């Protein structure tokens, strides 16, 4: 039996019951009878419309059938989840404890090495400079052409930080004191709102001052993003990169372009892809426990969003430049041979 016919008969019974109740109950006052009468008339109208629709469906009305197909198609598209494939990239890591995640946007496919570490949330460290730069640029807190901040005169361990510095140099040298000031200018409320919008890991900026960082107690060189309250996994890093630079990005083209300029990896030798990213490194009690490189690559086939994180490895040196080197190798090889089992 057709669905429309069943619904028609069901509504017919509602109509019959409404008439029966109207005629049998002597307790209704005049106002109640008027209301019931209106309901009966409404039921009649609905039944006529339903009867007409049912006949159109049974006769194969092309417009109704096409609309039904469109709705079903949209539902199927929304239900499609990206594929997740495990990858054996152990040769790139050469015994290092680490993970790599690539999201191929054109094919809606993840390739993940060491899936357990890929979902393990850790401190983002200086990779968070992507987010603070993004927020400051988008809201006009940072103007690249007028971005110089004055050095306080305090001598820091990195010689590149011991001078007045602008946005581009601060990003390139990963100048913590510059970004400490920039994040303070952004403010807690706006930063919290932005992290929730991006679904950035645990979105926890409760340790704004960075007091949980046991490796540094100098406020100019610490904050919630350095071995503190804010945590994010490598897979989430990749999702955030697509949120910022993907087709459905809510950020202005101007903001994206300004950010891409400072994220561009200039030493990349290949000309058919452009790699953008940011390193990050965190220590606990003087030992490197987090080394990152996250970003994306523009290729002829579309964007690849990636993240490599290295963790503490006994007897082996761990650093963010090494994470960067591994990431670029994997992304380059994947782009060149994405049909192979990489």
CATH number at residue 138: 3.40.710.10
Within a domain: 342? no
- Record the pTM: 0.77
User: Quick one: 13 and 128 in the same domain?
Assistant: no
Q: What is the mean pLDDT of residues 54-81?
A: 51
| Comparison of pLDDT for 19 and 205, the residue scoring more | 205
Band the pLDDT of 4: cuts 50, 70, 90.
very low
User: Quick one: 41 and 129 in the same domain?
Assistant: no
Q: What is the pLDDT of residue 213?
A: 95
Share of the chain above pLDDT 90, in %: 69
Q: What is the pLDDT of residue 300?
A: 87
Task: Evaluate if residue 305 carries a pLDDT over 80.
Answer: yes
Q: What is the pLDDT of residue 52?
A: 53
Q: What is the pLDDT of residue 337?
A: 77
User: Quick one: 183 and 303 in the same domain?
Assistant: yes
Question: What is the CA angle 184-288-122, rounded to 5?
Answer: 60
* 309 neighbors 302 (Cβ within 8 angstroms): no
Q: What is the mean pLDDT of residues 164-184?
A: 98
Could you tell me the residue range of the domain that residue 197 belongs to?
83-336
Last residue of a domain, one of 54, 79, 104: 79
| Comparison of pLDDT for 26 and 274, the residue scoring more | 274
User: Quick one: 51 and 143 in the same domain?
Assistant: no
Q: What is the pLDDT of residue 327?
A: 97
Task: Evaluate if residue 51 carries a pLDDT over 90.
Answer: no
Band the pLDDT of 269: cuts 50, 70, 90.
low
Within a domain: 229? yes
Task: Evaluate if residue 10 carries a pLDDT over 60.
Answer: no
User: Quick one: 53 and 181 in the same domain?
Assistant: no
Within a domain: 219? yes
Task: Evaluate if residue 296 carries a pLDDT over 80.
Answer: yes
User: Quick one: 294 and 243 in the same domain?
Assistant: yes
User: Quick one: 95 and 151 in the same domain?
Assistant: yes
User: Quick one: 257 and 321 in the same domain?
Assistant: yes
Q: What is the pLDDT of residue 266?
A: 63
User: Quick one: 49 and 106 in the same domain?
Assistant: no
Band the pLDDT of 336: cuts 50, 70, 90.
confident
Last residue of a domain, one of 49, 79, 109: 79
User: Quick one: 20 and 162 in the same domain?
Assistant: no
Band the pLDDT of 143: cuts 50, 70, 90.
very high
CA nearest to 229, candidates 201, 196, 197, 191: 201
Question: What is the CA angle 193-194-197, rounded to 5?
Answer: 90
Number of helices (H) and strands (E), helices first, in the chain? 12, 6
The tally of domains found in the chain comes to 2
Q: What is the mean pLDDT of residues 21-42?
A: 41
Q: What is the mean pLDDT of residues 201-218?
A: 96
CA nearest to 151, candidates 117, 177, 132, 125: 177
Q: What tokens does 311 get?
A: 């963790």
Which residues have a Cβ under 8 Å from the Cβ of 70 and sit 6 or more positions away?
A: none
Which residues have a Cβ under 8 Å from the Cβ of 48 and sit 6 or more positions away?
A: none
Q: What is the mean pLDDT of residues 63-68?
A: 48
Q: What is the pLDDT of residue 228?
A: 98
Band the pLDDT of 71: cuts 50, 70, 90.
very low
* 3 neighbors 11 (Cβ within 8 angstroms): no
- Sheet of 83-86: strand order equals 83-86, 109-113, 98-104, 302-311, 287-299, 274-284
Q: What is the pLDDT of residue 80?
A: 78
């Amino acid at each position: 039996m057709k669905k429309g016919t069943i619904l028609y008969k069901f509504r017919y019974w509602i109509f019959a019951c409404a008439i029966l109740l109207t005629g049998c109950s002597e307790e209704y006052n005049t106002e109640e009878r008027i209301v019931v009468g209106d309901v009966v008339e409404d039921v009649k109208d609905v039944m006529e419309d339903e009867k007409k629709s049912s006949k159109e469906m049974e006769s194969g009305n092309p417009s109704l059938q096409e609309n039904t197909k469109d709705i079903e198609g949209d539902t199927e598209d929304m239900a499609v989840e990206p594929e997740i494939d495990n990858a054996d990239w152990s040769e790139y890591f050469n015994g290092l404890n680490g993970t790599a995640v690539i999201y191929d946007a054109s094919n809606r496919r993840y390739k993940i090495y060491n899936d357990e570490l890929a979902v393990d949330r850790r401190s983002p460290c200086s990779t968070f400079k992507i987010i603070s730069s993004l927020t400051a640029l988008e809201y006009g807190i940072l103007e690249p052409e007028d971005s110089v901040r004055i050095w306080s005169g305090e001598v820091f361990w990195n010689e590149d930080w011991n001078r007045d510095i602008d946005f581009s140099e601060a990003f390139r040298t990963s100048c913590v004191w510059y970004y400490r000031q920039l994040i303070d200018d952004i403010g807690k409320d706006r930063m919290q709102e932005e992290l929730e919008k991006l679904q950035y890991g645990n979105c926890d900026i409760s340790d704004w001052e960075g007091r949980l960082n046991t490796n540094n107690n100098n406020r100019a060189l610490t904050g919630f993003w350095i071995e503190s309250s804010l945590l994010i996994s490598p897979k989430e890093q990749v999702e955030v990169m697509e949120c910022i630079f993907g087709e459905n990005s809510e950020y202005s083209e101007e903001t994206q372009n300004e950010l891409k300029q400072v994220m561009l990896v200039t030493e990349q030798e290949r000309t058919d892809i452009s790699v953008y990213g940011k390193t990050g490194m965190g220590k606990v009690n003087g030992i490197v426990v987090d080394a990152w490189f996250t970003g994306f690559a523009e290729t002829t086939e579309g964007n690849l969003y990636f993240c490599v994180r290295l963790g503490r490895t006994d007897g082996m040196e761990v650093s963010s430049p090494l994470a960067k080197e591994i990431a670029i190798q994997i992304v380059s090889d994947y782009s060149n041979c994405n049909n192979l089992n990489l």
